[in-house]
Structure 1
Amino acid sequence: MFYQITQYIKFLSKSTNQHGVHSPFVYDLITKCFYDKTNYEAYKNMSEYRKELLSNKMLISVTDLGSGSQKLKSNTRSVSKMAKHAGTTYFRAKLLYRIVKYFNSKNILELGTSLGIATHAMQLGNPKAMITTVEGCNNLTAFTKANFLKYQLNGITLINDNFQSAFKNVNKNSFDLVFFDGNHQKESTLQYFEAMLPSIHNDALFIFDDIYWSKEMTEAWETIKQHPKVTVTIDTFHWGLVFFRSEQNKEHFIIRV
């Protein structure tokens, strides 16, 4: 936690808004998506989905295949506590909704389904999208799959598997958006990044969650930024966005959202 606090102070000193951003692509993304103040009807659905999870006291035995939770140490966890401490926040779910809507992402991969808060937001962002989401914990998979059916969420394929094994089946596809939210370890993050590179196209977007989770996660983020295929990155502190647009000069932005 101390590491995250110190990094956030540094982030505030370096970050900016749309002013001073000379890339038309990034400027439009910031002003028309990041800072879009429209109160979308979908936000109500997202809020209801999350509120129901926050009120659910059901206990689930969780198997962590990644670095686990920084706040929930027991493997037996209530749905409500997972939604509060480990699930995607309402603020970030709304941002993810806007990103999917803005780019009209059609083929999406999510690594780390958990309770499906982010999955739900992305599905609402583009109801016609085909979303593949991978969750390593059997019990979480069963719970969230039932929740998706309850909310009649279409176009979502939930795979219960570890990420490395799942890649054998999914990385042959071309994804518009890949959301990395399941393992906060440096080596694993870099392995997943490399594994998904064959599936990218010019307008693809990778989003890495919790890039300041730990010193080694920040190191992974810095390594990703320098990859020759990466042209534009945006650091929003909680997320790192990666673009592969060949027409763009290599630039790194630090943006307050």
Structure 2
Amino acid sequence: MYSVFQLAKKYCSYYLNASNGKGHGVHSPFVFDFIKFVKNDRRQYDCYASIEALRADLLQNKNFIAVEDFGAGSTVLKTNRRAIHKMAQSSLKPKKFAQLLFRIVQYYRPKAMLELGTSFGITSSYLASGNLAGQLYTLEGSPAIAAIAKDNFDKLQLSNIHLEQGDFAKTLQPLLTQLPQIDLAFVDGNHRKAPTLQYFHSLLANAGEQSIFIFDDIHWSEEM
């Protein structure tokens, strides 16, 4: 697992060498549309404020919960008894990335979405809010974390989220057998190479020609 310093160094290198962000000189129509209509969309959508209010509540929550880790674990928190606000600080997706996921869903309109790694439900809420006519199926290993996420979904009155709690090794395949096609998948739950590749191949069997797969934290560890 990379140290925080090593991760920061890799991200700095990426941003310094990344191509321009305005679409100039981009020849792929897909990439051009993505940059122009998704990445550079600066509108403040109605759901942003309510979801960010929940993030703020989590960052102020001093309660402790017992967490069962099925994946690579946290790079910051080394004990299973963890403060909610500390977990929120280290595990929630930054606002700009979570809102980018919302805009991806809002623009491409996937009907069946799958998220591996619910956490406290902030990213899930952005995904589900991007297309209220679609359905989001989200998997979370920890019972305590899943309970908090479910409470957040209820507060936002998001009825298009289906939360499955349990080890991905036991919950993913049965779910995939029920879903003929996954239009969008967001994988953010294990952070180890072998399981991540296994998830990819499992999802591939349910992919359509326009399916979008997003894998987060690919710099989490050296093997990733």
CA distance in 1, matches of 2:201, 2:61: 37
How far, CA to CA, are the matches of 2:52 and 2:152 in structure 1? 15
Aligned match for 1:148, one of 141, 147, 153: 153
Distance verdict in 2 for CA 1:150–1:8, change over 3 Å: closer
Judge conservation of contact 2:113–2:134 (CA < 8 Å) in 1. Answer: yes
Cα deviations by residue, 1:189-232 (Å, 9 ceiling, x for unpaired): 11111111111000000110111112211xxxxxxxxxxxxxxx
Q: Is 1:98 the counterpart of 2:103 in the alignment? A: yes
The match for 1:203 is 210
Contact kept in structure 1, 2:173 and 2:202, CA below 8 Å? no
Change (3 A) 1:28 1:159: same
Identical aligned residues as a percent:
41
Extract structure 1 runs of 4+ deviating beyond 6 A: none
2:128–2:134 Cα contact (<8 Å) kept: yes
Name the counterpart of 1:42: 47
* Equivalent residue, structure 1, for 2:35: 30
Deviations 1:140-195 (A, max 9, x none): 11222223223321111110121121122122321111000101111111111111
SS at match of 1:201: strand
Deviation at 1:77, TM superposition (A): 1.3
Counterpart CA distance in 2 for 1:84 and 1:9 is: 20
- Which residue of structure 2 lines up, in the alignment, with residue 223 of structure 1? none
2:137 to 132, 135, 138: 132
How far did residue 12 of structure 1 move? 2.6
> For residues 182 and 149 of structure 1, what CA distance do their matches in structure 2 show?
22
Q: What SS does structure 1 have at the residue aligned with 2:205?
A: helix
Aligned equivalent of 2:74, options 64, 69, 73:
69
Superposition deviation, residue 13 in structure 1? 3.7
Matches within 5 A, 1:1-257: 1-16=4-19, 17=21, 18-172=23-177, 173=179, 174-217=181-224
TM-score using structure 1 length? 0.80
How far apart are the structure 1 equivalents of 2:194 and 2:15? 27
Q: TM-score, normalised by structure 2?
A: 0.92
Q: 1:191 to 1:38 in 2, by over 3 A?
A: same
Structure 2: state its 5+ residue gaps.
Answer: none
The answer to whether the 8 A contact 2:54-2:152 is kept is no
Structure 2 SS opposite 1:176: strand
Q: Is contact 1:3–1:214 with CA below 8 Å preserved after alignment?
A: no
Distance between the aligned counterparts of 1:150 and 1:8, measured in 2?
A: 35
- Matched pairs, number: 217
- Can you list the C-alpha shifts for 1:71-99, whole angstroms capped at 9, x where unaligned? 11121112211111111221111111111
| Alpha carbons of structure 1 residues 32 and 4: separation in structure 2 relative to 1, 3 Å | same
